[in-house]
């Protein structure tokens, strides 16, 4: 049996199981609250694994190993930023968001913010929900497009047909079971992901150590990083500012004839940009915060915290090591596409059947990310836009939630088909800063500062989005990441707006 056929058999079996599991869990959905947030009754371990699978699927399995392969030790700063952000969220935010969701009986991310700042809750719902739904349309479309491209690369299937296959695999049980089906299928993805990120580095270290000299690039990770050059072997080496680069020209225009200062500033700015992923994890990613809000009780929140943190630390170490093992096996220039380092390493280390299971788990985790984004968008639209306008009983409300989910799936598929993939991914690029960093400020101040009020919330959201778009559109993203600056600007505006603008009287 050929390698691709082995993967196809494993993929069909795996996805069949996932679909059936999702449908089974969907049978327990009885009303719109079950559909939107699993009735706020998720066990801690389910919430933790679902949050981790949703937050890290394509990033931990393709993006981070690819970045580690491309930059060596420099990528540790990105990992530190992400890990610290995730740990902070689980320790300080998760249980608070759970308690707040229970207190206000909220079924959506924006609904919580609106109820907390009830004096302008209507406008917060409109501004927040429309913003999230707009950006996540493209985010879901990007997942469909990525899934289609993956099937095209693996099996030569036309990209359009591949996208349709992805939709047919993941959308029906999402429509049927909503948040509950998505979270319970996420658990399977998270388990496969963490198994991959544990056994692949161990097998990789054994593999490179036992290869004859000269057959591969290096026999240890340290040797590989050293041979690849200074930019790979130190945590600041990759931050040396290249003469003639946009960053170098920008800094030289501000500090003429100051090469040493330019290099120092360049190093600091690149490290800051790498670490800036931290800010998006502070409650600002709605699809992750909803997992916190859905936990059933405080005891389960503690269990979820421990599992979530342990999973994160293990996963990020494993992802970095896979990238560095890739350097040892293939050399720093041995792969055309750096983000293929994970599947390339897996096929080197394991027989086709084992590699097929692990690669299929990777692909399924990436594809399933669309489910979480889809449910989040449908919930925002249903709970905050449609329901306030239309009186519904429970059965009709559940039907409308499913109908909206189906409609959003169709629109996202159309976007992925007709709109340039460059445009889709450019808009997705706004999400972490425009949504993550902006709403992180909103959530943090909502939880920890009593003076923060509704008018300042709306001003914060509009400022964060506007600044992100302008910063990226002018090309300044290449100088310093909008993830960092959007958080700072949004925070300044939020504090200033709270102090200078009087709250609206309810």
**pLDDT tens-digit profile of 404-460?**
889 888 888 888 888 776 666 667 677 888 899 999 999 999 999 999 999 999 999
- At 479 the pLDDT is 76
Average the pLDDT over each of 96-100, 235-239, 336-340 and give the range with the smallest value.
235-239
Total domains in the chain come to 1
Residue 121 domain flag:
yes
Q: Which residues contact 40 (CB under 8 A, 6 or more apart)?
A: 33, 98, 101, 102, 293, 294, 295, 296
Give yes or no for residue 257 having a pLDDT over 70. no
Question: What's the CATH number where 295 sits?
Answer: 1.20.1730.10
- At 99 the pLDDT is 96
Residue 434 domain flag:
no
Q: How many helices (H) and strands (E) does the chain have?
A: 23, 0
Residue 486 domain flag:
no
pTM here?
A: 0.89
Residue 443 domain flag:
no
CA–CA separation, 247 vs 243, rounded Å?
Answer: 9
Residue 311 domain flag:
yes
Residue 433 domain flag:
no
Residue 460 domain flag:
no
**pLDDT-derived band at 243, boundaries 50, 70, 90:** very low
CA–CA separation, 440 vs 283, rounded Å?
Answer: 5
- At 59 the pLDDT is 77
Residue 51 domain flag:
yes
Dihedral sign of CA atoms 257, 261, 266, 272 in order: negative
Give yes or no for residue 327 having a pLDDT over 70. yes
Range of the domain at 153: 3-228+279-420
CA–CA separation, 70 vs 73, rounded Å?
Answer: 10
Q: Which residues contact 44 (CB under 8 A, 6 or more apart)?
A: 295, 296, 299, 300, 301, 302, 303, 304, 305, 307
């Amino acid at each position: 049996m050929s390698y691709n056929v082995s993967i196809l058999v494993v993929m069909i079996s795996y996805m069949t199981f996932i679909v059936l599991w999702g449908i089974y869990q969907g049978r327990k959905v009885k009303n719109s609250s079950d559909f939107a947030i699993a009735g706020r009754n998720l066990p801690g371990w389910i919430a933790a694994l679902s949050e981790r699978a949703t937050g890290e699927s394509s990033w931990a399995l393709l993006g981070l190993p690819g970045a580690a392969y491309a930059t060596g030790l420099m990528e540790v700063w990105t990992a530190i930023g992400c890990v610290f952000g995730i740990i902070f969220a689980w320790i300080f935010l998760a249980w608070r968001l759970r308690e707040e969701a229970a207190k206000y009986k909220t079924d959506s991310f924006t609904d919580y913010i609106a109820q907390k700042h009830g004096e302008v809750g209507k406008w917060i719902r409109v501004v927040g929900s429309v913003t999230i739904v707009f950006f996540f349309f493209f985010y879901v479309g990007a997942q469909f497009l990525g899934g289609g491209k993956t099937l095209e690369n693996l099996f030569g299937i036309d990209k359009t047909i591949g996208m349709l296959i992805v939709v047919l695999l993941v959308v029906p049980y999402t429509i049927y079971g909503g948040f509950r089906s998505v979270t319970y299928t996420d658990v399977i993805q998270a388990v496969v992901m963490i198994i991959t990120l544990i056994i692949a580095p161990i097998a990789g270290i054994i593999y490179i150590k036992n290869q004859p000299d000269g057959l591969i690039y290096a026999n240890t990770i340290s040797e590989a990083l050293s041979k690849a050059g200074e930019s790979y072997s130190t945590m600041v080496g990759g931050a040396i500012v290249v003469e003639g680069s946009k960053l170098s020209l920008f800094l030289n225009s501000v500090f003429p004839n100051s090469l040493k200062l330019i290099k120092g500033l360049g190093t600091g700015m690149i490290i800051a940009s790498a670490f800036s992923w931290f800010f998006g994890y502070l409650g600002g990613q709605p699809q992750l915060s909803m997992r916190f809000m859905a936990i059933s009780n405080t005891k389960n929140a503690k269990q979820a915290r421990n599992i979530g943190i342990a999973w994160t630390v293990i996963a990020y170490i494993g992802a970095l090591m896979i990238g560095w093992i890739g350097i040892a096996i293939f050399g720093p220039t041995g792969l055309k596409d750096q983000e293929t380092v994970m599947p390339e390493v897996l096929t080197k280390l394991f027989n086709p059947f084992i590699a097929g299971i692990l690669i299929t788990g990777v692909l399924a985790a990436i594809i399933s990310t669309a489910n979480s984004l889809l449910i989040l968008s449908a919930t925002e639209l249903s709970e905050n836009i449609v329901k306030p306008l239309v009186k519904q009983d429970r059965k009709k409300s559940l039907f409308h939630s499913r109908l909206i989910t189906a409609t959003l799936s169709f629109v996202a598929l159309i976007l992925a088909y007709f709109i340039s993939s460059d445009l889709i991914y450019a808009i997705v690029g706004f999400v972490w800063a425009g949504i993550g960093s902006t709403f992180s400020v909103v959530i943090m101040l909502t939880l920890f500062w009593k003076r923060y009020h509704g008018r300042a919330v709306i001003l914060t959201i509009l400022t964060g989005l506007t600044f992100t778009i302008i910063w990226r559109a002018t090309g300044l993203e290449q100088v310093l990441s909008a993830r960092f600056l959007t958080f700072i600007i949004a925070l300044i505006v939020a504090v200033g707006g709270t102090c200078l603008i009087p709250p609206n009287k309810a």
